Amino acid sequence: MATKPPPAVEEFSPETLEKLAYSVVADIETMEPNDRNRLGYCVWTYLKDRKGTLEDAVRAAGSRTAMSEAEVIELIRKRLKEKGLGG
């Protein structure tokens, strides 16, 4: 009986909304990696649907970060503007 290796992980191309959303939160210091993933997901859903505000998305993520919620929102907004996505 042989175990096969898992399939390779396909990365999103750099210009996709998913990759952009996760890249803007990539270096925000969180208590656990899943906090950052959840934050990236909520930013992605905000960018995809444009329902609510960025503040709502950050609040919905409930990520435990080393920064205040206001600082996280301002940082994400700044990075989104740098990438041409508004914020």
The reported pTM is 0.81
Is the pLDDT at 87 greater than 70? The verdict is: no
Domain contains 46: yes
pLDDT bucket at 1, cuts 50 / 70 / 90: low
Q: How far is CA 20 from its chain centroid? A: 8
Domain count, the chain: 1
* 16-55 CB burial, b ≥16 within 10 A, e <16: eeeebbbebbeebebeeeebbebbbbbbbbbbeeeeeebe
The pLDDT tens digits of the residues spanning 30-64 come to 999 899 999 999 999 999 988 889 999 999 999 99
Domain contains 55: yes
Structural domain range at position 43: 17-82
